[in-house]
Chain A
Amino acid sequence: MKKRIVVLKKGIDKAVGIESFCCFGGGFILAWR
């Protein structure tokens, strides 16, 4: 059967955590990982 789901973006791995915290309404990001 043909696969119906095409993954366009895998996104973040929850176990690793997110990449940034938001400062200044998004205008100033401190890289976290």
Chain B
Amino acid sequence: MKLSIYAKLYPSGEDRDSVVLFSTKRASAVLVPSALIKDIECGSLSEEEQETLFGLGLLARSDEEEKQEMLNFIQELNILNKTLIATVVLNLDCNLGCRYCFEGTRKGKLYLSDETADKFVDFLKISSDLSNKNEIKITFYGGEPLLSTERIASISEKILSFAGGKGLKYSFSLVTNGTLLTPGVVKRLALLGLKNAKVTLDGPKHIHDNFRPFKSGKGSFDVIVRNIKDACDKIHVEIGGNYTKDNYREFPRLLDYLLAEGLTPDKIPMIRFDPVVNENSAFALPDFSDGCNSSREPWLIDASLHLREEILKRGYRTQKITPAPCIVELFDSIMMDYDGALYKCPVLIGRKDYRVGDITTGLADYRESHALDNWKNEECLACAYLPLCFGGCRYMKLLQDGDINGINCRKEYFDRILAQLVSQDIKYDL
């Protein structure tokens, strides 16, 4: 037995003679005396110790066996997956006039048609392979999906009409600005399978209202918070926020406000803050350039660790460190634009070069265009961060280099941040 390629060794922070061993492929961690590491190298661990560490993915029989395990990893996950996942862009319209917007200049009065909606339901029912699935999960996306509430209801009713007969559960979630998530809408959609809504609050009121006003210019913060209060005991409401280099230090004040308003950790299951990313494509809004372009920007490390600590120390949960392959690797996951075009990643939606078919003709072979095996090389396989990275984010690669071929290496980023992320995960029992 030897130390896993995918194990990282960090100082314990408590005493000099102990170290933390963390497995990137299992997200497991142990505290051991430094002498035990030498015993691994000498092959002098007890049988019980070997068994414990092997079971946690921290020991391996050989490098070759472990690399082969990683080469099979995604395929195994695809076999284990029993859920058909679809993301549906219902429209590219919005009632807010945010200073930044991921949809950028693509926005407009563009809505999913009756015909495309029916074809989508047929696609789920007939074209997709449901034989080994037990669940359909849809994320309704936009634009603002709740400008299409009737469409959400009609699609859900149609899916529910066949799902039960095939032994399939059905549920859906919303990525919404929260302004239209009213009690009436929640009550109605919850009966049709709404389980989860991801709502955006960009920091405390004065920042949020500056970044995410209604088109009239009026602030949206108070309306959204009121809706969250009404919805959070009926569905899971996750709060996300998008920060910039200049305003992230203000975000903890939002957390204090939420606590003071009774939106406590038992009511809000997940909070996460992420940087606004600049677009460099034709879709970018011309007047916004405060976002970041790469995970390599030095301030991002401080910002993400600081905000994560602020979230966790108030008792909220946030995303934990765990293996996370890119969504394009999941076979039974599809994204559909409002016009019926199919994509494999939400942030590639609308980029014609990355279209992988349409709802009438079905999926084309996207393995080459999406660089599916980009991480299957000796350098990545020998990298301790492979299970957390799998070649990185295709969208970030596209932003940086203009195409998604090759890898978006995150080694430098993990070298600088992972020890502290692991320490937070342990401290707060994530």
Q: Report yes or no: B36 in contact with A9, Cβ–Cβ below 8 A.
A: no
Cross-chain contact B80 with A12 (CB below 8 angstroms): no
List of B residues within 8 angstroms of A9 by Cβ = 22, 27-29, 425-426
| Cα distance, A11 to B346, chains bound together (Å) | 28
B80 contacts A23, CB within 8 Å?
Answer: no
Contact B347 A4 (CB under 8 A): no
Q: Are B347 and A5 in contact (CB under 8 A)?
A: no
For the complex, what is the distance from the CA of A26 to the CA of B327, rounded to whole Å?
Answer: 10
The answer to whether B98 has its CB under 8 Å from any CB of chain A is no
Other-chain residue from A8, A14, A18, A26 in contact with B319 (beta carbon distance below 8 A): A26
Q: Decide if B374 is an interface residue (CB 8 Å cutoff).
A: no
The docked-state distance in angstroms from the alpha carbon of A13 to that of B53 is 14
Cα-based distance from A2 to B260 in the complex (angstroms): 46
A29-B56 in contact (CB<8A): no
A18–B30 contact, CB under 8 A?
no
Smallest Cβ-Cβ distance to B35: which chain A residue: A4
A4, B319: Cβ atoms under 8 Å?
A: no
Is B83 at the interface (CB under 8 A from chain A)? yes
For the complex formed, measure the closest distance between the CB of B218 and the CB atoms of chain A, giving whole angstroms: 28
B335 (CB) vs chain A CBs: closest residue = A23
**How far, in angstroms, from A31 to B76 measured CA to CA in the complex?**
18
Asked if B77 and A10 sit within 8 Å, CB to CB, the answer is no
Report yes or no: B324 in contact with A26, Cβ–Cβ below 8 A. yes
In contact, B426 and A8 (Cβ under 8 angstroms)? yes
Residue from B83, B274, B275, B393 in contact with A22 in the complex, judged by beta carbons closer than 8 Å:
B393
Interface positions of B from 306 to 363, Cβ below 8 Å from A: 319, 322-327, 329-330, 333, 345-347
From A6, A25, A27, A29, B32 is in contact (CB under 8 Å) with A6
Q: Using known A-B contacts A5-B53, A11-B29, A27-B274, determine if residue A22 contacts B324 with beta carbons closer than 8 Å.
A: yes
The answer to whether A22 touches B395, judged by C-beta atoms less than 8 angstroms apart, is: no
Contact status B347-A7, CB under 8 Å = no
Residue in A8, A14, A22, A32 whose beta carbon sits within 8 Å of that of B30 in the complex: A8
The contact sample of 23 A-B pairs, CB cut-off 8 A, is A1-B46, A5-B31, A5-B52, A6-B32, A8-B29, A8-B31, A9-B22, A9-B426, A11-B27, A12-B26, A12-B323, A20-B322, A20-B324, A21-B329, A23-B345, A23-B347, A25-B277, A25-B395, A25-B396, A28-B346, A30-B327, A30-B333, A32-B81
9 other A-B residue contacts (CB within 8 Å) besides A5-B30, A11-B56, A12-B322: A9-B27, A9-B29, A21-B327, A23-B347, A24-B345, A24-B347, A25-B295, A26-B324, A27-B277
A-B pairs, top 8 by smallest CB distance, nearest first, are A11-B28, A11-B26, A25-B393, A22-B324, A27-B274, A11-B27, A9-B29, A6-B31
